[in-house]
Structure 1
Amino acid sequence: MQRKPIIAPSILAADFSKLGTEVEAVSNADWIHVDIMDGHFVPNLSFGPDVTKAVHKSTSLPLDVHLMIEAPEKWVQHYIDAGAHCVIFHVEATDDPVALARTLRSAGVRAGFSVKPGTPIEPYLDMLEEFDEVLVMSVEPGFGGQSFMPDQLAKVRTLRTAIDERGLDVIIEIDGGISADTIAQAAEAGCDAFVAGSAVYGKPSPAQAVDELRKLASR
């Protein structure tokens, strides 16, 4: 399914002291990506449901909430209540991803799963029908500003083939090292949505950076 590129700035790279203003600065984006880290599943700590709720109040854009946390099934309701449009959890962090996806969908929220760079995608292809989104990590999760891992695009191509052959409406998203130098190759591999942190918030005009990334992905 051919889509317009979805650009999702990550507020992990924003200035937390003026988060409302930073979110408003990318009002031309498609989604806002919210990275949740617990200091256990990944070796870093970010923020939780209260900040997510505050972001939801400050924008009309859909919140793409990425849970890099242990036992996500214990926490998803907090993020549903905080206004998440899609909740993405890691398959490495839960024993029953399909059950969790059904919980999310039954609550009226889109369900997504993510895989770390070292996790193969093939074991999860059979459950694609249960999901709305798959997030391929092209860096090790937990820290912003890492270098893009082009070998992860093999997973994207595998997903693209499986989704297209089965006629599924599942978005392929990529997160990690996405910039003006890497977004075109991710798009060519079959990505629909692109998370960008420093490539947006590290520029003088975040809105202009969003537009430029969208143009590069469209090519």
Structure 2
Amino acid sequence: MVSDPHKWVDEFAQAGVNQFTFHIEAAGSTAEALEIAKDIKAKGMQAGIVLKPKTSIDDVLPVIDSGLIDTLLVMTVEPGFGGQKFMEDMMDKVKTARAKYPSLTIEVDGGLTVDTTKIAAAAGANAIVAGTAIFKADDPEAVIKEMRQSVEELSK
């Protein structure tokens, strides 16, 4: 997470980034989050918004309702370091978002394993961010394949 994400939009666009995802908490307000998302879209990038565990799903709904957001990323750990335990109670946020936005990309990040990927996908996540489970696996390719299969089968 960066503070003042708006100041980075131009540089990322110039670097050729195709998606810029920012934390709602770093935006400071709904109005600023909307301005950031508008700027991201105006620069030809997809816009994503991140929700930390302690932040209510209600805080991002007005921004998603604007039609400017392509991806909602629900953090399933407190951001900071790898290897944390998956917070299954965050799946309520995923379920709420999926029910309200059937075509939105809903991504989860944190504590993802083969088993927790199934939980996230069944809740409605259709994209995952996995680090430790892959990089510490004896067979990373097999882990990726199983996670991908779970998302494809369960998030329909």
TM-score (norm 2): 0.89
Deviation at 1:93, TM superposition (A): 0.6
Give the C-alpha shift of residue 83 in structure 1.
3.1
Which fold has the larger relative contact order, with Cα–Cα distance below 8 Å and residues 6 or more apart in sequence?
1
Aligned CA-pair RMSD: 1.4
2:86 to 135, 148, 154: 148
1:110 to 46, 56, 71: 46
Offset from partner CA, 1:135-176 (integer Å, 9 cap, x none): 000000111111000000010011011113xxxx42100000
Whether 2:25 is the aligned partner of 1:89: answer no
| TM-score normalised by structure 1 residue count | 0.64
Deviation at 1:209, TM superposition (A): 2.0
For each residue in 1:177-203, what CA deviation from the matched residue of structure 2 results, as whole angstroms up to 9, or x when unmatched?
Answer: 011120111001010100000111112
Q: Which amino acid aligns with 2:13?
A: I
Kindly indicate whether the alpha-carbon contact (under 8 Å) linking 1:125 and 1:162 is maintained by their aligned counterparts in 2.
no
How far apart are the structure 2 equivalents of 1:136 and 1:183? Answer: 13
- Secondary structure of 1:117 counterpart: coil
- Name the SS of the counterpart of 1:210 in structure 2: helix
Which whole-Å deviations, capped at 9, do the CAs of 1:39-95 have from their partners, x for residues lacking one? xxxxxxxxxxxxxxxxxxxxxxxxxxxxx1100111122222333221110011113
- For residue 181 of structure 1, give the secondary structure of its aligned residue in structure 2: helix
2:101 partner SS: helix
Alpha-carbon distance in structure 2 between the residues aligned to 1:125 and 1:86? 19
**Unaligned 5+ runs, structure 2:** none
Higher normalized helix content (fraction of residues): 2
Gaps of 5+ in 1: 1-67
State the identity as a percent. 39
CA distance in 1, matches of 2:16, 2:129: 19
